[in-house]
Structure 1
Amino acid sequence: MSLAADELDETSPPAPRTSRPIAVADWRPIGVHDLEPAAWDALRSTGNVAVVAGPGAGKTEFLAQRAGYLLQTGICPWPQRILAISFKRDAAANLGRRVTARVPEHAHRFVSMTFDAFTKGLVDRFAAALPPDWRKSEGYDIRLVFEAEARRFLTEIAPSAPAALRWQVAALQPERFMADVVGGWDLPTTVPTDDPVDAATYAVRAWWRARYLRPGKAYVDFVMLNRLAELLVRAVPKLRRALRLTYPFVFVDEFQDTTSAQFSFLTSVFGDGPAVTAVGDSKQRIMGWAGALPKAVRRFTEAFHATSYPLAWNFRSSDALVQLQHVIASKLDAHTVPAISRATAEAGHDPAALWTFSSLDREAAFIADWIAQDIAASSRSPADFALLARQKIADFEPRFRDRLAAHGIRVRNDDAMVGKMRLQDLLKNETARLLLGLLRLAHQPRGLAAVWRDVSGTMARVYGAVGDDAAQRHVGENLTEMTTALRAWLKAHPPAVTSADYTVNCLLGLADAAALGRYLKSTTPGEDLETITDAFRARLATATATSADWTDALDGFEAADAIGLLTAHRSKGLEYHTVFFLGLDDQQWWAHHLDPAESTSTFFVGLSRAAQRLIFTTTTPHARTGRIADLFTMLDNAGVPEIDQG
């Protein structure tokens, strides 16, 4: 197999015309005033780095600044690139946009994608180089594996296991099977034929035979694709060398959520090679149910001989809230370093409180009235407020929606299903943002520079124009023509009399649905254009049903000026002026006793979204003595006052 570094991408970026490197001593942060001392040390490091960044530390900004530093100083010289790996598509897109805004002249050399996209891309491009036993000429279908299927599989294979292993196979946990057993097994170069020595080995071999080595098309999920990619780079040294030459610097975001398979892959490809920067916070480890490794950041530090840099500044929360956060953080990590607030505290209100109510209706009515009064007395908007809960968000929506609607305030349930997608995922989806952006640009041709940059950047990626000045100019010309044509179409088709199907079909015709489909297939594994467009249609139909014009319809679609209603899990990475943490009771936190550490991490993530005010609520009289008594104890230790609101 012959493989050069530039074969990892369809096209190699052109050499820069100007861009003389900035001297290291002269480089300054871009778009921010300064970095804290530990961030400066981590940014300048040439080795492996573990950045421990708590809530509000600005980890995405740190990674963007480190990318700018490496690219602008020439430490990462052309044509080499930086690879940034995130766990969520929206996080990868957000980091990519941040780097583009900071160093647009080098943006084409910053590759930001998810773990799944990276490993799937390797398998798809270099599958022919897999060891012979693992090559599949018929290809594969992606089939996600849920706990029920893993349970059925283990039940079916247990009776045929060797007698000495039978009870051990039956005892394997189906909810952990994919993450721990399949994800923890490195594929051997040849399919083994010897007798398995333990239950896990027996089960994982049976799984690969049934799902992958079966006649015809293989069935795989992303854990299996990860394992195939790891085998690929291990079995093909030229590919491993090419990856290391192409990406001398690697960033991994949210490292506390790294799974066994992902850690193994990262070690195989980039161990003892490129400089890896891992950013994470063990106190925010809330993905243990999905296979996140315990103490992943510490394991990285040990395996990669990395230097650890804890960031102490908190740019989000006031000093009083940072002190409250430290009380909970200390329960998760007794050695955690107190953060230093860099946010200006507002006067005139208590930073934190626990409100108790006699009923759920009383809770919704009081909070709705309180928010309306606060908005009327300040310059704040509904988007500055969030209603968080541990789970069962749908139970809260009707009460709060009706009560807030009486004040002319909307609620956006980010956890709601729209087609086959969650609303939060749809609103952050790159394809959905492209379609909505086209509508925005057509309807309002001026004053939307950020939307234009976002849409044109997506189109450049879809049409393979990144790094090609002439192709990017052509994309810009096409975008102008598209929005001009769409503008005339919108004027002739008011939302009240135009179906969402008709509108979306028009958009797909202009944007080239075939090109979008190819782009999704190559960059976002498991993401289906039809699923996205169906969800977009459903949301647009709801938005246009009560809209007199396209301004109302597009604002209703996005609901940017609405109070967010979401789970603590979905709030990660977000921030609000005021957070209401609803439902501090056994019903919401029924599983707390099953995994107190991860449950407390979820509690920590939710409460650390607040910048200025944090209000916990409960309608359960005896919640203090129930399953979550320890959470109430933490609040008491933090000095959070309890107020009976009737």
Structure 2
Amino acid sequence: MIAPELWVPADGLTLEPNALRAAKERQVNLALNAGPGAGKTEMLAQRADFLLRTGQCRYPKRILAISFKVDASTNLKARVKRRCGVALGRRFDSHTFHAFAKRIIDRFRPVLTGADTLDPGYQIGTNRVVRTQIEFKDIIPLAIKILRQSKSARNAIRQTYTDVFLDEFQDCTGDQYELIKVAFKGTPIRMTAVGDVKQKIMGWAGALEGIFQLYANDFAAVPLNMYRNFRSMPNLLRMQNEIIRVLDAASVMPPDQLIGDGGEVFSWRFTDSQHEAEYLAGLITRWTEGGKMPYSEVAILVSKLPDQYAYDLMAALTRHGIPYRNETQLQDLSSEPAARLIVDFLSCLYGQREPKAWMRLSEQLMPYDDEDIQSAKRRFFHQFVKNQRKEVSVEQLLEAPYDGWWEHASKLLGMVGLETLVALSPDYEAHARLREVITQTKTRIEELLTVEPELPLALNRFSDDKAVRLLTIHKSKGLEFESVIMLGIEKEAFFGNPVDERCVFFVGVSRAKRRLVLTHADQRPKPPNYNKRWDVARSPYTEFFGYAQPFLTPA
């Protein structure tokens, strides 16, 4: 433990003044407005490091972080571990709103009575079944009921945590905010809310207007701003600044932050989506050939319906041998610890060199026992993997070297044991969810093998780190990429409220670190996998292309 005045940011990083102040705050609640690339996640990780290493969060107390997406929750947890180490990082709980609410239900389920009564092992499904099943939309309201009705439940939550972090707070809904109020309002727990009103893209899902002011009033929170964008290069920042000028003139970046020539912006028109797809697949091939840039540093963003808008592009990527990861299918599953465990294990068995997979695998499975027990279990696990690799080597001599992949995965699950698997996630306390994830993982790998028969390459498509990412702009929140392709910047794709759509466009643009590509096609034929209305003739969204026009890079 170190004195607060002696603490410096972990790993030698430098924080801007307001981020440093936020990281070291010990008294007041904070309402932090931070733009894209301002380092919100890093600030929260450094704040966790400060609180844990200086004893402001004293053992056995914990820190709670609540995010909106599984990816964001997982990324923050991983970053905290890197900054303050595994031992202290174990006292940092990072959940989505729904995961946090479900933990409350699972722990205090007997509080629910009458029509809300739930049996042990209840499920979450598409309809409500008395005592045995609830819908996804029921999770937060039921957690609120528990906290309102039970002083013991409220006290148990409040006595667990010294600090609560709220990430992407501009998208907080009424139910989510009510959960926060019932759980923490009027307590000495320090609250740190972080977000950006310019990135408010969840209005359609009930995001509250004026949420930061409401929170500041209810929790007496002090407002702070983080202005600096550390993500994007200068030319991209200049384009973003023009959008900010329309969204929130008070947040326009000062000239000294826009100096420099780095960053590329491209705008391309195509006659139809087939020509668009072939050109973009060739472009990604040139960007990545010879290892010049990892596939994972390329993102393809669409406003909505990625399976349809990117139908031709996915086919072109396959023809060019470019691995891609369709987040519509994979985001939730690939974020599951049990799925990650299976994929990383198989990558270690069948891949050539997989240091990242091996590190993740070891971190998931190594127990937090005393040093002798941990060392013994590590030796046992290493021997198990060595034996499995020997079996795989023999199988490689046969005509079908990958036939036994699920048998090896099953041996891993049997060796690890149910107790350790359940400990990977609170959701697995309901064993049915664990079985579901394992089954889905097997099915998904089998599907990928029909496209890519080489198991190591199929596993790469499952994982985060070796495939082009295809996702909606909404799902890209909190992520960043070297190169971003925004596909189909067309009126027919951005047809909602103009203010909301402008925010969505800004989020997409601000994911790019070095290169941004905007496209539109005159003709976008209806994909065969879509049966609803579809406009074949397309028109560019002129306002959005107008932001890019002054900053285009010569072809």
Tell me which interval the TM-score lies in, with the shorter structure as reference length: 0.7 to 0.9
Q: Which has the larger radius of gyration?
A: 1
For residues 79-228 of structure 1, the aligned pairs below 5 Å read 79-104=60-85, 105-129=87-111, 136=117, 138-139=119-120, 141-144=122-125, 217=131, 219-228=133-142
Question: If the length of structure 2 is used for normalisation, what is the TM-score?
Answer: 0.85
**Residue of structure 1 equivalent to 2:475:** 570
Letter in 2 for 1:392: L
Q: Does 1:633 align with 2:539?
A: no
Q: Does 1:482 align with 2:462?
A: no
**CA, structure 1 residues 644+392, in 2 after alignment: closer, same or farther (shift >3 Å)?**
farther
Quick one: which of 341, 363, 384 aligns to 1:457? Answer: 363
**CA, structure 1 residues 586+144, in 2 after alignment: closer, same or farther (shift >3 Å)?**
farther
**CA, structure 1 residues 424+227, in 2 after alignment: closer, same or farther (shift >3 Å)?**
closer
Describe the superposition over 1:577-629 as per-residue Cα deviations: whole angstroms up to 9, x where unpaired. 2222111223322x32xx2232222211111111122121112399xxx9988
**Residue of structure 2 equivalent to 1:369:** 282
1:544: how far off? 4.5
2:164 touches 2:191 (CA, 8 Å); kept in 1?
yes
Describe the superposition over 1:82-108 as per-residue Cα deviations: whole angstroms up to 9, x where unpaired. 111222223222211111111123112
Letter in 2 for 1:457: E
1:314: how far off? 1.1
User: Which moves more between the two structures, 286-295 or 488-497?
Assistant: 488-497
**Residue of structure 2 equivalent to 1:429:** 336
2:299 touches 2:484 (CA, 8 Å); kept in 1?
yes
Distance in 2 between residues matched to 1:504 and 1:447, nearest whole Å: 17
**Residue of structure 2 equivalent to 1:31:** 11
Distance in 1 between residues matched to 2:345 and 2:523, nearest whole Å: 51
**Residue of structure 2 equivalent to 1:582:** 487
Give the match's secondary structure for 1:313.
coil
**Residue of structure 2 equivalent to 1:72:** 53
2:402 touches 2:455 (CA, 8 Å); kept in 1?
no
**Residue of structure 2 equivalent to 1:193:** none
For residues 499-510 of structure 1, the aligned pairs below 5 Å read 501-510=406-415
Distance in 1 between residues matched to 2:199 and 2:42, nearest whole Å: 18
**CA, structure 1 residues 542+608, in 2 after alignment: closer, same or farther (shift >3 Å)?**
same
Describe the superposition over 1:283-336 as per-residue Cα deviations: whole angstroms up to 9, x where unpaired. 222223333222323321221111111111111101221121122233333432
**CA, structure 1 residues 327+466, in 2 after alignment: closer, same or farther (shift >3 Å)?**
farther
Describe the superposition over 1:5-32 as per-residue Cα deviations: whole angstroms up to 9, x where unpaired. xxxxxxxxxxxxxxxx212221111124
Describe the superposition over 1:546-572 as per-residue Cα deviations: whole angstroms up to 9, x where unpaired. 778654454454374333222212222
1:258: how far off? 1.6
Give the match's secondary structure for 2:488.
coil
1:539: how far off? 3.4
**CA, structure 1 residues 498+96, in 2 after alignment: closer, same or farther (shift >3 Å)?**
same
1:496 touches 1:546 (CA, 8 Å); kept in 2?
no
Give the match's secondary structure for 2:485.
strand
1:56: how far off? 1.1
User: Which moves more between the two structures, 597-606 or 380-389?
Assistant: 380-389
**CA, structure 1 residues 510+286, in 2 after alignment: closer, same or farther (shift >3 Å)?**
farther
Distance in 2 between residues matched to 1:525 and 1:638, nearest whole Å: 50
User: How many residues are paired up?
Assistant: 537
Distance in 1 between residues matched to 2:243 and 2:369, nearest whole Å: 46
2:170 touches 2:211 (CA, 8 Å); kept in 1?
yes
**CA, structure 1 residues 345+471, in 2 after alignment: closer, same or farther (shift >3 Å)?**
farther
Distance in 1 between residues matched to 2:208 and 2:324, nearest whole Å: 33
Distance in 2 between residues matched to 1:256 and 1:529, nearest whole Å: 32
Give the match's secondary structure for 1:410.
coil
Distance in 1 between residues matched to 2:199 and 2:429, nearest whole Å: 26
Distance in 1 between residues matched to 2:432 and 2:227, nearest whole Å: 37
Distance in 2 between residues matched to 1:315 and 1:546, nearest whole Å: 38
**Residue of structure 2 equivalent to 1:613:** 515
**Residue of structure 1 equivalent to 2:501:** 599
Q: Does 1:58 align with 2:49?
A: no
Distance in 1 between residues matched to 2:119 and 2:332, nearest whole Å: 32
Describe the superposition over 1:140-197 as per-residue Cα deviations: whole angstroms up to 9, x where unpaired. 744445xxx8xxxxxxxxxxxxxxxxxxxxxxxxxxxxxxxxxxxxxxxxxxxxxxxx
Letter in 2 for 1:607: V
**Residue of structure 1 equivalent to 2:438:** 533
Distance in 2 between residues matched to 1:474 and 1:597, nearest whole Å: 59
**Residue of structure 2 equivalent to 1:310:** 225
**CA, structure 1 residues 441+466, in 2 after alignment: closer, same or farther (shift >3 Å)?**
same
**CA, structure 1 residues 285+545, in 2 after alignment: closer, same or farther (shift >3 Å)?**
same
1:504 touches 1:537 (CA, 8 Å); kept in 2?
no
2:473 touches 2:508 (CA, 8 Å); kept in 1?
yes
Letter in 2 for 1:314: N
**Residue of structure 1 equivalent to 2:159:** 245
Question: If the length of structure 1 is used for normalisation, what is the TM-score?
Answer: 0.74
1:80: how far off? 1.4
Distance in 2 between residues matched to 1:475 and 1:238, nearest whole Å: 38
Quick one: which of 301, 306, 309 aligns to 2:216? Answer: 301
1:133: how far off? 5.2
Distance in 1 between residues matched to 2:260 and 2:411, nearest whole Å: 49
Distance in 1 between residues matched to 2:420 and 2:412, nearest whole Å: 13
2:488 touches 2:519 (CA, 8 Å); kept in 1?
yes
Distance in 1 between residues matched to 2:146 and 2:205, nearest whole Å: 24
Letter in 1 for 2:156: A
1:62: how far off? 1.0
Letter in 1 for 2:435: E
Give the match's secondary structure for 1:584.
coil
**CA, structure 1 residues 401+411, in 2 after alignment: closer, same or farther (shift >3 Å)?**
farther
1:382 touches 1:562 (CA, 8 Å); kept in 2?
yes
Unaligned ranges ≥5, structure 1: 1-20, 150-210, 417-421
Letter in 2 for 1:380: M
**CA, structure 1 residues 218+261, in 2 after alignment: closer, same or farther (shift >3 Å)?**
farther
1:64: how far off? 0.7
1:356 touches 1:644 (CA, 8 Å); kept in 2?
no
2:482 touches 2:512 (CA, 8 Å); kept in 1?
yes
**Residue of structure 2 equivalent to 1:395:** 308
Distance in 2 between residues matched to 1:317 and 1:118, nearest whole Å: 33
**CA, structure 1 residues 473+250, in 2 after alignment: closer, same or farther (shift >3 Å)?**
farther
Distance in 1 between residues matched to 2:215 and 2:422, nearest whole Å: 36
Q: Does 1:272 align with 2:174?
A: no
Distance in 2 between residues matched to 1:308 and 1:527, nearest whole Å: 44
Q: Does 1:558 align with 2:463?
A: yes
**CA, structure 1 residues 469+88, in 2 after alignment: closer, same or farther (shift >3 Å)?**
farther
Distance in 2 between residues matched to 1:385 and 1:142, nearest whole Å: 37
Give the match's secondary structure for 2:201.
coil
Letter in 2 for 1:116: H
Q: Does 1:492 align with 2:406?
A: no
Letter in 1 for 2:499: A
1:140 touches 1:220 (CA, 8 Å); kept in 2?
no
